Amino acid sequence: MLTVAAQMFIAVWKQNAAEDLLAKIRRLWEHYGGIKQNSLL
C-alpha cells in the first residue's frame, strides 16, 4: 500500500502534469488562432 505522503505526491504530480499540458495546448491554440485571425484580416 502507498503511504499518505506518496498518494499526496502522486496527486500533486498529476495535477501539475495536467496543468502543464493544458498550458501547452492553450499556447498552441492561441498561436495558430492568431495566425488565422491575422490572415482573415
Q: What is the DSSP letter of 1?
A: -
Cell numbers linked to 11: 496527486
Cell numbers linked to 12: 500533486
Q: How far from chain centre, in Å, is Cα 23?
A: 4
Q: What is the pLDDT along the chain (41 residues), one digit of tens a residue?
A: 679 999 999 999 999 999 999 999 999 988 888 666 666 55
Amino acid at 36: K
Cell numbers linked to 7: 498518494
pTM: 0.59
Residue 19, pLDDT score = 96
Cell numbers linked to 35: 495566425
Euclidean distance between CA atoms 17 and 30, whole angstroms: 20
Residue 35, pLDDT score = 66
Residue 2, pLDDT score = 77
Residue 4, pLDDT score = 94
